[in-house]
Structure 1
Amino acid sequence: MKTVNIFDCEVASLTIDETVVEVNKIIKKRKPVQHVVINAGKVVLMDENINLKKIVSECPIINADGQSIVWASRFLKKPLPERVAGIDLMEELIKLSNKKGYSIYFLGAKEEVVKKVVRHYESLYPDVKIAGFRNGYFNQKEEIEIVNNIREAHADILFVAFSSPQKEYFLSKYFKELGVPFQMGVGGSFDVVAGVTSRAPKYMQKIGLEWFYRFIQEPKRMWKRYLVGNSKFIYIVLKEKFKKVN
C-alpha cells in the first residue's frame, strides 16, 4: 500500500476507491485491524497527546479525512491524491458489505440515533447483514461485556461513533479482543446519517470549508476547536516544513 510520511504517520496515498480495495483485502485476511483518519483537529490533538500519536501512527491504514491534510501534504511536497472522509468511506464500505455479504456492527451515539442508522441502511440495502448495534453510553465496568458481545456477533466490519480520542483509545485497547477484521472510528457520522446534524454542501466540502459549516451551526461549542485549533494546525505544518528543510 502506498503511503506518505507526514506528521510522523504513514498516511495512505490512496483514493477512496483504492481504500475500499485495501479494506476488502483486510477483511479477507480475517486479522483484526484498526483503521484511523486524521484531520487538522486530530493532528493538533496528536501534537499535544503522545499516547494518541502513538496509537494513530501504529494503525496499519491511515486516511486523510480533512481537506486540510491534503493541502498540507502538497505544501510539504508529499502530495496525497484526495481526501478520504470517514463518513464517505463508511458509506462505500456499507455498499461493499451489501455486495459481498459482509456483516456490520454499529457502536456509538444515542440509542435512538443508532437505531435510526440501522433502519436507514436496512431500508437502503434490504440484503445488508447487520451483526448488531449498541449505543455509545456505557461505563468502564460494561466495556468487557460489550467487547464480548461484539466478538460473539462475528461481524466483518465495526463502525465506532465516539469522538476523538475516545474511539482511538477504545479500539487500541480492545481491537484484538473484538476480533473484527476491520474496525473504524467514524466520529459523528451516525448523527449525520440519522439526520440529527447536517453535513456541509458538496461545494463547501470541496473547497475545504466543511469545518466552517459546522462552526456556524454551533459557534459557541466549536469556536475554540476550529479557530484556535486551525491556528495550531498551521503552526504544526510550518514546523513540519522547517524540520524537513533541516
Structure 2
Amino acid sequence: MDKPCRLFLLGAEVDVITPADVMAFVGRKVAAKERAIVANHNLHSLYLFQRRADMRAFYDKADLIEIDSTPMIAWAKLMGHKVSRTHRCTYLDFREDFWALAQKNGWRVYHVGGEAAHNAASKAAILARYPRVHLDLHTGFFDINGPANALLLADLRDKKPDVLLVGMGMPRQETWILNNLDRLPDCVILPVGAAFDYEAGVMYTPPRWTGRLGIEWLVRFFHEPKRLFERYFIEPWWLIPQALRDVWRLKRTA
C-alpha cells in the first residue's frame, strides 16, 4: 500500500483505507519492530475530538486513522471524495483476517480491556478459531493512574507484544495510550473499544450485512437504546459547524 489518501472531514483527518490496507500496515510495522498507532474515527470520536484536548493530542500521534463510520463514508462521498463502504474499517470487519495473520506469523498479541470475568471467555472464543495464537489479557477495569497501571506497564515490558489491543471505550482507551505511550513497548497499538465483549458473547454483535447496508447503527440502537441514544441522536448535532466548513471548502474548490 502506498501512502493513503488523507482527508479532512468533519473537523478531523482520516485515511482512505480498506481493512486489507490496515492488515498490511500492521504486518509491515510488526516485521520492522516499529511502534505505530492505528486509530479510528466515528461520529462519537469526532464529537469528543472537538471537545477534548487530550483526544486531539492522541490523534496527532496516530500513524493511520481508519474511518469506522458509515455516515462518515456517506458524507465524504457527498463532498466529492472517492470513498466507498469498502473503506470502512472496524474490528468486527477485519478480526478474522487479523487473527489468521497473528497465528500464521506468530505475533504476540496483548489485549487490555474488558471485565476480568469475561476475559477467559474472550480468549477461549479466539483460540477455538485460531488455536496457535499467542494471546495475553489484562482487564480494563483498573485505576489507570495508580499502582495497577505500573504493574501493567511492567508486564507489557516483560511480554513484549507485537500488537497491543486496547479496549476500554472512548475516550478512556485513547487517554491511556496517550499518557503511557513513551512507556509502551515497540508494537502496533490499536484502540478497539468493546471488541472482546463481542468475542465473549456478552455484547450483541450485529450481522456484518447491516454495516454494508448502512443500518448497523440502527440495529445497535434497538439493542441498547439507553446507552446509545445520546451518542446517535444528540452528539451528531454538535458536528454541524464542521459539516458547514466542509461544504464551504467544497464550494471554494469547485
TM-score, length-scaled by structure 2: 0.89
Q: Residues of 1 paired with 2:83 and 2:60: CA distance?
A: 17
Q: In the alignment, which of 134, 137, 140 is matched to residue 133 of structure 1?
A: 137
Displacement after TM superposition at 1:228 (Å): 0.8
Displacement after TM superposition at 1:71 (Å): 1.3
Displacement after TM superposition at 1:10 (Å): 4.0
Q: Residues of 2 paired with 1:245 and 1:48: CA distance?
A: 27
Matches within 5 A, 1:73-112: 73-81=76-84, 82-112=87-117
* Structure-2 residue corresponding to 1:242: 248
Q: Residues of 2 paired with 1:41 and 1:77: CA distance?
A: 23
Q: Residues of 2 paired with 1:119 and 1:73: CA distance?
A: 39
Q: In the alignment, which of 6, 12, 16 is matched to residue 15 of structure 2?
A: 12
Paired AA for residue 153 in structure 1: K
* Structure-2 residue corresponding to 1:212: 218
Q: In the alignment, which of 59, 62, 65 is matched to residue 59 of structure 1?
A: 62
Q: Residues of 2 paired with 1:44 and 1:61: CA distance?
A: 19
**1:29/1:181 contact within 8 Å kept:** no
Q: What SS does the aligned partner of 1:6 have?
A: strand
Q: Residues of 1 paired with 2:249 and 2:29: CA distance?
A: 34
**2:12/2:46 contact within 8 Å kept:** no
Q: In the alignment, which of 103, 115, 120 is matched to residue 120 of structure 2?
A: 115
Q: What SS does the aligned partner of 2:234 have?
A: helix
Runs of 4+ in 1 over 6 A off after TM superposition: none
Identical aligned residues as a percent? 20
- Which shifted more, 213-222 or 38-47? 213-222
Q: Residues of 1 paired with 2:176 and 2:161: CA distance?
A: 17
Ranges in structure 1 where 5+ consecutive residues have no aligned partner: none
Count of aligned pairs: 245
Q: What SS does the aligned partner of 1:107 have?
A: strand
Paired AA for residue 208 in structure 1: G
The C-alpha deviation readout for 1:174-217, integer Å capped at 9, x for no partner, is 23312141111110111111111112223321122212112111
**2:126/2:199 contact within 8 Å kept:** no
Paired AA for residue 99 in structure 2: I
